[in-house]
Amino acid sequence: MRKRLFLALLGCLAFCVTHSVAIPYALAAEESKGKKNEKKEDEEVSGGRFEGDPIYVHIKPLILPVINDDGVEQIVSLVLDVHVKDTETADLLRKDMPRVVDALLRHLYGSLDTGALSKGKLVNIGKLKKNAILAISEIVPRHQIVDVLVQGVSQRML
């Protein structure tokens, strides 16, 4: 009788210990998944926490080949941020990011190939910014875009 009572208590104890460890672990894992998704969205837009703070939409790096008659001449990598007037515009750009990237690639790719955005072999940053603003204004009204900020340019001659 005592042996059965001891085994029953041992079973209950094992059950309680297992669930007291497993359930919080499972809940923590679910919570971290949610935080990862929130963090990804937060990484696409920054600023705007306080009144008057600038709001930036970060665009993933763009890689553009520059092609001439002989083939690919160079590879240009760009990292751009878009400074917008309000959080509504930032949310619209974030939600329409595939269209934003499409517009940027269409405007910049052809201009790099024709030399319209170049100073010799170097990219003309001023012209690149103007073309990027034109491209993004296809998605949101131009008056909502404060500026396009070039965070990085890399050119690799082939």
pLDDT of residue 142: 96
pLDDT of residue 21: 46
pLDDT of residue 124: 87
**Alpha carbon distance 100, 51 (integer Å):** 27
152 and 95 part of one domain: yes
**Alpha carbon distance 61, 105 (integer Å):** 11
Q: What angle do CA 95, 31, 35 make, to 5 degrees?
A: 35
29 and 59 part of one domain: no
31 and 104 part of one domain: no
98 and 39 part of one domain: no
pLDDT of residue 39: 45
pLDDT of residue 7: 52
The CATH number of the domain where 145 resides is what? 3.30.479
17 and 69 part of one domain: no
Task: Check: CB of residue 42 under 8 Å from CB of residue 126.
Answer: no
30 and 69 part of one domain: no
Which structural domain, as residue segments, surrounds residue 13?
A: 2-46
Q: Mark out the alpha helices in the chain (DSSP H runs).
A: 2-44, 87-95, 97-114, 125-136
CB neighbour burial string for 49-83, b if at least 16 within 10 angstroms, e if fewer: eeeeeebbbbbeebebebeeeeeebbebebebbbe
The number of domains in the chain is: 2
**Alpha carbon distance 78, 65 (integer Å):** 11
Give the residue carrying structure tokens 């890399």.
Answer: 154
82 and 152 part of one domain: yes
- 158 residues of the chain, pLDDT tens digit each: 655 655 555 455 555 544 554 455 455 555 555 554 554 455 788 887 878 899 999 999 999 988 877 888 889 999 999 999 999 999 999 999 999 999 999 998 877 767 766 777 788 899 999 999 999 999 999 999 999 999 999 999 88
pLDDT of residue 32: 54
96 and 140 part of one domain: yes
